[in-house]
Structure 1
Amino acid sequence: MTDQERAFAEVSGFSAALATIPSTGDLLQDLAQRSAAALAVRSTGVFLVREGELHPVGVLDGMAAELADVQAQERCGPCFEALRTVQPVTVPDLARDAARWPGYGERVLELGVAATASLPLHFNGEALGTLGLYHNAPRPWSATDLACVRVLIDMAVGYLAVAADRDRQRRVAEQLQHALDSRVVIEQAKGMLAAERRIPTGEAFELLRGYARHHRAKLRDTAEAVVDGGLRP
């Protein structure tokens, strides 16, 4: 299999995986695995930013986990630079560039990394995190390499954006349904009180509201107590 065929196979496989509606964690873990396979690199890690810190959410192996620890401790390196600039950062030969990130470069070399690249995960110009590529031998990061990983990243970010919108719509629908359910039970309680006491429904509603306020209870809970629990304000 040629490099191009391998990269195409991973992009195609990732597209198919998105159709299964994976969880965010599974999605980002798959992104790490497919990026490593597409470029035949030693290891990869996906990191999301929270309060200025990069947190690993998808690591290929123990090496990536150790690199995440180094990154968190030193607070510098290609991933932090990619996050800050929202641009890819490539290091074909880390031995020649280690001094660029004091502390980080030396420790990463000790872990067996000879070349690294970091690409930002971004949406509408906002950096969400980074994907780090790590290899145990010097290698040039070609425009084709970066374009392939960029496609995988964009697919992942696009899916997350759609999922977030879907979740938002679901929450809105649930809130609307809750409001409707509340109104139904309140109307039932009003009708019961009005019928039993032979008073207007507006007066029955004021009884419900007054009782709820006095007892610091929710109006819906008070109405449910009237309908199902025999409460009579």
Structure 2
Amino acid sequence: MIDLLNRLTEYCVRLLPVDAAGLVLSDQRGHLRVVSSSTEAARVVELFQLEADEGPCLDAFGTGQAIAVPDLREATGQWPRFAAHAVREGFTSIHALPMRLRAETIGALNLFGAHPGPLPRADVRIGQALADMATIGILHEQTVRRADVLAEQLQGALNSRVIIEQAKGVLAGRSQLDMVQAFTLLRNHARNTNQRLRDLALTVIEDNTTADLLLHTTDNPNPSRQQS
């Protein structure tokens, strides 16, 4: 993914009449971070923009709309600190394109120019298309990761359930308890000894002395029925 984002800024400079490009993405807490830039000057400007908390990139991210600034020297009233800093770094125009899919905006692609002037509409569309493709790729990867985590959690829950069922069988087989009573015994002992139910169940399966201990130390030979 990092390679994709680096190539995105490089492609922008190759394909569009701009001198540099930078990319910022939102982290899990909603804070923007600089993740790619085609030049060191662009990276410095992006970092300053985030530090100053003002600039077209932040506006594009906040509104989900493209922000065009043909001449930064005329934008000192809107972004006084950012505009002055960008001009000092050699940029006099900027176009900020939101990285958005439907209602979700995850960042912004910023196109810097060393000379004032607007980008032709066709070039703006190309830049937005590149930003859109990167957005789809990022969101797809996040979806796959979340799906993988969920699958692992579900598999873990299923595995734990199997272990607990086996432990219930061990206890029931070594006593007069039925399966519901065996589960109640397991659950109560886990709570009383501050253990995870799965860990206790695994110990019961692997060590017969643990099962005997539970069966002989319980004060209630007929635990109250409760569904597992």
TM-score interval, smaller chain: 0.7 to 0.9
Measure how far apart 1:193 and its partner are: 1.7
What amino acid is the match of 2:149?
R
- Does residue 11 of structure 2 align to residue 28 of structure 1? no
- Does residue 151 of structure 2 align to residue 173 of structure 1? yes
Partner of 2:68: 90
> In structure 1, the residue corresponding to 2:59 is in which secondary structure?
helix
What amino acid is the match of 2:95?
A
- Does residue 224 of structure 2 align to residue 224 of structure 1? no
Match of 1:120 among 94, 98, 109: 98
Question: CA 1:229–1:146 in 2, change beyond 3 Å: closer, same or farther?
Answer: farther
> In structure 2, the residue corresponding to 1:103 is in which secondary structure?
helix
Match of 1:193 among 159, 171, 174: 171
Any conservation in 1 of the 2:21–2:38 contact (CA below 8 Å)? yes
* 2: CA distance, partners of 1:61 / 1:174: 40
If each structure's helix is expressed as a fraction of its own residues, which one has the higher value?
1
Match of 1:63 among 31, 41, 45: 41
Normalised to the residue count of structure 2, the TM-score between the two structures is 0.82
Match of 2:118 among 140, 158, 171: 140
Match of 1:163 among 133, 141, 156: 141
The answer for unaligned runs of 5 or more in structure 2 is: 215-228
> In structure 1, the residue corresponding to 2:65 is in which secondary structure?
coil
What amino acid is the match of 1:224?
L
Higher gyration radius (CA): 2
Match of 1:49 among 17, 20, 26: 26
* 2: CA distance, partners of 1:147 / 1:199: 72
- Does residue 54 of structure 2 align to residue 76 of structure 1? yes
Any conservation in 1 of the 2:18–2:111 contact (CA below 8 Å)? yes
Any conservation in 1 of the 2:70–2:118 contact (CA below 8 Å)? yes
Measure how far apart 1:206 and its partner are: 1.8
What amino acid is the match of 1:170?
D
What amino acid is the match of 2:137?
Y
* 1: CA distance, partners of 2:17 / 2:111: 10
* 1: CA distance, partners of 2:15 / 2:202: 58
Any conservation in 2 of the 1:76–1:104 contact (CA below 8 Å)? yes
Question: CA 1:181–1:135 in 2, change beyond 3 Å: closer, same or farther?
Answer: same
What amino acid is the match of 2:196?
K
Partner of 1:16: none
* 1: CA distance, partners of 2:51 / 2:165: 59
Question: CA 1:126–1:187 in 2, change beyond 3 Å: closer, same or farther?
Answer: closer
The number of residue pairs the alignment matches comes to: 210
What amino acid is the match of 2:26?
V
Measure how far apart 1:149 and its partner are: 1.0
What amino acid is the match of 1:125?
A
Measure how far apart 1:142 and its partner are: 0.8
Match of 2:132 among 146, 154, 157: 154
What amino acid is the match of 2:11?
R
Partner of 1:182: 160
Measure how far apart 1:89 and its partner are: 1.4
* 2: CA distance, partners of 1:75 / 1:206: 57
Partner of 1:20: none
Please list the CA deviations of residues 124-149 of structure 1 after superposition, one character each: whole Å capped at 9, or x if unmatched. Answer: 23332211111222343011111101
| CA-atom RMSD in angstroms | 2.1
